[in-house]
Amino acid sequence: MDRADTDTPRDQTPDLTPGLSVRDEFAIFEHTTYANSCSQGALANRVRAAAEEWLTGWDANGAEWEFWVERNEAARAAFAGLLHAEPDDVAVTTSVSQGVSALVSALDLAGERNRIVISEYEFPTVGQIAHAQELRGAQVVHVRPEADGRIPVERFAEAIDERTALACCTAVSFRSGHRHDVSAIAEIAHAKGALVLADSYQAIGALEIDVRTLGADVVTGGTVKYLLGSAGLGFMWLRDSLRSELLPTQTGWFADEDIFEMSIADYSPHASARRFDSGTPPVPSLYPGVAGMELIAEVGVPAIEAHVRSLNDRLLEGLDALGATVVTPRGDGEHGPLICVLSTDPNALVAALTTENIITSTRDSNLRISLHLYNVEEDVDRILAALAANRTLLA
């Protein structure tokens, strides 16, 4: 396989807009109304082709190390582009878990500043990694929601103090769709000298994430959901001043200043955010991951965000007409792509929708409906009609 032929030249790719113009790329819509991007994005034809390219290249050329390293750098650049960041400030990870574990391994938690503050809406991995640090002297402080499900920034202000090393506020809750005011929380944390980690997994690709204005010191996420890639590939962006300050003790040879020196004589982490990379790059995930991110970049996140907002407005209007209890707040900046609706039996509701070829998911007592660039108004209307037919399962 001639590697020079593998990339589609930029000027040959058509201009895409969200909705019908992109929907043909996703075979699942031939038979299914897919509304579960919060679990996994739908598979695009070009993402499938990229995944197959990994096997074809392996067959044709054997170990394609140079190309794999190039794909790793293509992934880094694609993440950086989405984040409005520089590639040098982005670590390529195998998961949020790997990145966050490396991050906390760089924190001194044995001294006075040993607290990790976590919102109640963090993904389990963030909470579990925080609590694992109790073995290293950390104390974990939980910031819980009010009765209406919101976590006002004042709750973070009460929890964060001079003992806080790290405050974790997920950008959008995977459970309920609540969106945190990351900038306001970061301002509070920085006034106390604490770092802020924003897990953007439920936002990146469907909501603009601009690290220049977000306020967080570290932003993480991955390709499985709104970036349309597969499992096994993630990122962690770090503010550039942190690179020299933070020395991860959880590391690997791809974090070294010279990977191919192959030295076992010392620990010499890379000067860039690559010091938070780990071992062999997640090669099979790089191909589809880069292809998915290219598709998102072609359509553009601002256009996707506006498209999803308009679909969600239609969805919320229909849910109100059904008298459903929407758990996700509706205010400006209070939610992302995910809308959660209270159900008396969420598993039965997901199953009932599945019989009508509508794919959704559940968390807690909520039905999760998450729309993306490929959804159209007819999808919303189909979902609403199916919910009307199963009204007794809505709380």
Ligand X SMILES: Cc1ncc(COP(=O)(O)O)c(C=O)c1O
Nearer to ligand X, 67 or 174 (CB): 174
Give me 229's structure tokens.
Answer: 């890639």
Which ranges in the chain belong to alpha helices (H)? Answer: 20-23, 45-61, 65-83, 96-105, 124-132, 153-159, 182-191, 211-214, 240-245, 283-299, 301-321, 346-355, 377-389
36 belongs to the binding site for ligand X (CB under 6 A): no
Task: Choose, by CB under 6 A, the member of 17, 125, 139, 310 that binds ligand X.
Answer: 125
| Residue 280 to residues 61, 113, 142, 233, 255, Cα–Cα distance (Å) | 18, 33, 35, 12, 10
Nearer to ligand X, 85 or 96 (CB): 96
Stretch that binds ligand X, among 10-18, 95-103, 347-355, 362-370 (CB under 6 A): 95-103
Nearer to ligand X, 195 or 236 (CB): 236
Q: How far is the CB of 235 from ligand X (least distance, A)?
A: 10
Number of residues in the chain = 395
Stretch that binds ligand X, among 196-204, 243-251, 335-343, 347-355 (CB under 6 A): 196-204
Which residues, listed in sequence order, are joined to residue 115 by a DSSP beta bridge?
A: 139, 164
Stretch that binds ligand X, among 43-51, 91-99, 285-293, 329-337 (CB under 6 A): 91-99
121 belongs to the binding site for ligand X (CB under 6 A): no
277 belongs to the binding site for ligand X (CB under 6 A): no
One character per residue 223-262, x = contact with ligand X (rule: CB under 6 A): -----------x----------------------------
Q: How far apart are CA 175 and CA 129, in angstroms?
A: 19
288 belongs to the binding site for ligand X (CB under 6 A): no
199 belongs to the binding site for ligand X (CB under 6 A): yes
**Spatial CA neighbour of 293 closest among 223, 371, 373:** 223
| Residue 49 to residues 2, 3, 7, 246, 362, Cα–Cα distance (Å) | 16, 15, 12, 38, 30
215 belongs to the binding site for ligand X (CB under 6 A): no
133 belongs to the binding site for ligand X (CB under 6 A): no
Nearer to ligand X, 54 or 174 (CB): 174
Name the residue with tokens 């400030």: 89
Task: Choose, by CB under 6 A, the member of 37, 105, 176, 202 that binds ligand X.
Answer: 202
Q: 183 and 212 in contact (C-beta within 8 Å)?
A: no
72 belongs to the binding site for ligand X (CB under 6 A): no
Stretch that binds ligand X, among 48-56, 84-92, 199-207, 324-332 (CB under 6 A): 199-207
Q: How far apart are CA 334 and CA 336, in angstroms?
A: 7
Task: Choose, by CB under 6 A, the member of 96, 186, 295, 367 that binds ligand X.
Answer: 96
Sign of the four-CA dihedral 78, 87, 304, 387: positive
Nearer to ligand X, 114 or 200 (CB): 200
Q: How far is the CB of 225 from ligand X (least distance, A)?
A: 7
170 belongs to the binding site for ligand X (CB under 6 A): yes
Stretch that binds ligand X, among 14-22, 152-160, 194-202, 264-272 (CB under 6 A): 194-202
Q: 82 and 293 in contact (C-beta within 8 Å)?
A: yes
Q: 216 and 238 in contact (C-beta within 8 Å)?
A: no
Task: Choose, by CB under 6 A, the member of 222, 281, 288, 289 that binds ligand X.
Answer: 222
Site residue total, ligand X (CB under 6 A):
12
Under DSSP, the state recorded for 41 is P
Nearer to ligand X, 234 or 337 (CB): 234
Which residues, listed in sequence order, are joined to residue 238 by a DSSP beta bridge?
A: 218
123 belongs to the binding site for ligand X (CB under 6 A): yes
Which residues, listed in sequence order, are joined to residue 342 by a DSSP beta bridge?
A: 366
HSE (side-chain half, CA atoms, 13 Å) at 264: 0
Chain residues that interact with ligand X, rule: CB under 6 A:
95-97, 123, 125, 170, 174, 199, 201-202, 222, 234
